[in-house]
Structure 1
Amino acid sequence: MKKLFTGFNLLVCSFLLAQNNNDFGQISGNFQSDFQYYIEDTLIDPSGEANPDERVLGTGFLNLTYTKGNFIAGIRYENYQNQRVGLPAGYNSEGITYRYARFIKDGFDVTAGNYYEQFGSGLVLRTYEERGLGIDNNLDGLRLVYQPAAGINLKGIIGRQRNYFEKGDGLVRGFDAEWSLKPTLGWTGNTNLIIGGSFVSKYEAANDPELNLPENVGSGAIRVNLITGNFNIYGEYARKSTDPNAYNGYIF
C-alpha cells in the first residue's frame, strides 16, 4: 500500500477585542489538518489486507486561546474521521480533548483543567503530546506552581491521564521541588548547581477479588545538575514501588 501524505497548518490568527479603551482581552488560535490518500500497492501487499476501505483519511486540530492580563484559558478540538493508518485504534471519534483555565501572579501559577507537566528528566512524570505518533497523555485536574524566592520552584499536581477520548482510572498525585543555587545565593561567574526531588503517587481501586493488588503505587526521584562553562553534568535516580499489572504478569 502506498500512501500520499498531505497536510497543512492553517490560520494562525490573533484578534484584539478592544473598544472605547476597554480591554476585553485577546483571542488567538490555530488550525491543523493532516490528510492521507492511499493507493493500493500489490507488490508489498498482494492481498490488499492492509489497504483501508477509504481512500482518504484525515485528522484535524483546532486550538483557541483567550488571554487577558494574568488570566489564560483555552480549548482544543480534535477530529479523527477516520483515523489515519498508523495511529492507535482508540482515535476514532471527535470532541473537545483539552480545556483549561490558568492564572499567574506574584510567583503563583495555577491551572485548572488539562495540562502538561514534567518532573526533572521525566523518569517519574512526563506528560506530552506527539500528534504524528498518536501520543497525548495530558493530565486533567489541578496544577500549582509556586516560586517563593529566586531559584526555588515548587510544583504540585493532581489529575487523571487522558486515554484517547476518555480518562484513565488512576488518580495521579505528585510534588516536585527544585533549587537553583546561583540566583538564590547570588553566585557570580558561570557555575550553577541545581538540585531537585520528586514524588508521584497513583491511586487506582483494586476491584479484582482474586488478586491482592496495591491501590497506591508511589515513585520518587532525586536529581543533581552541575553547569559550569561549557560543561553540563546531570544525574537523576528514581525508584518505584511494586506495581503489579497485566503488562508484567501481576508480579509483586
Structure 2
Amino acid sequence: MKRVLLLVMTVLITGSVARAQFSEVIKRSEVHGSFEFDGAYYMADEGVGITDSMINGRNFAFNGFGKITYTLGKFSAGLRYEAYLPPLAGFDPRIEGQGFPNLWAMYTSERFSFTVGNFYEQFGNGLTLRTYEEWMLGYDNSLNGARVTFEPVKGLLLKGVYGMQRFYWTPYTKNSRGIVKGFDAEMDFNQVIKG
C-alpha cells in the first residue's frame, strides 16, 4: 500500500512540476509567420498573340508560400512551404512542384551562432558567396547544411559554412552538383578602433 501511495504521489508531483515548466516555456515562446499567394487566370487572346496552344489547358497558375518561425530565448527554428502549381507565366518551368524546401534550427549567443538546415549567407559584399531568395523572380539558392559564426572581439566576425545549394526541387545526389565550403573573416574598423 505504501508503494502504491508513493507511486501516486510521485506521479502527481512530477506532473505538476512538468506542467509548471511547460507553462513557463509557453510564456517565453514566440511564433511568427507569413504567407503569400500570387495567382493568374489565363485566357486565349488573339489580339496580343496568346493562343490556346500556348496556354496548353493550364488556365490557372499560382505561386504560393507560407513560413513559420518559432523562437524560445536563444533558440529558433522554422520552416517554409512552397507551391508552384503550375508556376506563373515567366517563371522557369523547373520550379513546378510543392513541398518544404526550407527547414532550419539556430542557436545564437552573444558571440556565437550555429545553424543547421537551410540558411542564407553572404561573404563580404557577395563577390565570392551570396545566397538569397527573391520571391518575385522565383529565385532561391539557399544552402542546406551548417553555418557557424564567432565574434571573438567586437568588430571581428568569423564565419564558416558547409552545404549544398538549392536547385529547384532536385535533391542533392553524389556528383550531381558541388558542395559549398567556405570561411570568411570580416572586420569593422569603426567598432575595433575606438575614436
* TM-score (norm. length: structure 1): 0.63
How many Å separate the matches in 1 of 2:179 and 2:186? 24
After TM superposition, list the pairs within 5 Å mapping 1:125-136 onto structure 2.
125-136=129-140
How many Å separate the matches in 2 of 1:20 and 1:143? 30
Displacement of 1:52: 4.2
Name which of structure 1's ranges 114-123 and 40-49 shifts more when overlaid on structure 2: 40-49
Q: Deviations over 1:85-120 (max 9, x none)?
A: 111111111110101000001300110000001112
How many Å separate the matches in 2 of 1:132 and 1:105? 33
What residue in structure 2 maps to residue 110 of structure 1? 114
How many Å separate the matches in 2 of 1:19 and 1:150? 36
| Aligned equivalent of 2:178, options 159, 166, 170 | 170
Q: Deviations over 1:205-230 (max 9, x none)?
A: xxxxxxxxxxxxxxxxxxxxxxxxxx
Conservation of the 8 A alpha-carbon contact between 2:142 and 2:165: yes
What residue in structure 1 maps to residue 83 of structure 2? 79
* TM-score (norm. length: structure 2): 0.81
Displacement of 1:122: 1.2
Displacement of 1:170: 0.9
After TM superposition, list the pairs within 5 Å mapping 1:1-40 onto structure 2.
22-24=24-26, 25-40=29-44
Change in 2 beyond 3 A, CA 1:155/1:50: same
Larger helix share, 1 or 2? 2
Displacement of 1:74: 0.1
What residue in structure 2 maps to residue 214 of structure 1? none
SS class of match (1:43): helix
Displacement of 1:41: 1.9
What residue in structure 2 maps to residue 219 of structure 1? none
What residue in structure 1 maps to residue 8 of structure 2? none
Gaps of 5+ in 1: 1-17, 188-252
How many Å separate the matches in 1 of 2:188 and 2:68? 35
| Aligned equivalent of 1:138, options 112, 137, 142 | 142
Change in 2 beyond 3 A, CA 1:88/1:107: same
How many Å separate the matches in 2 of 1:21 and 1:58? 40
SS class of match (1:29): strand
Conservation of the 8 A alpha-carbon contact between 1:160 and 1:172: yes
Larger strand share, 1 or 2? 1
Identity of aligned residues (%): 38
What residue in structure 2 maps to residue 213 of structure 1? none
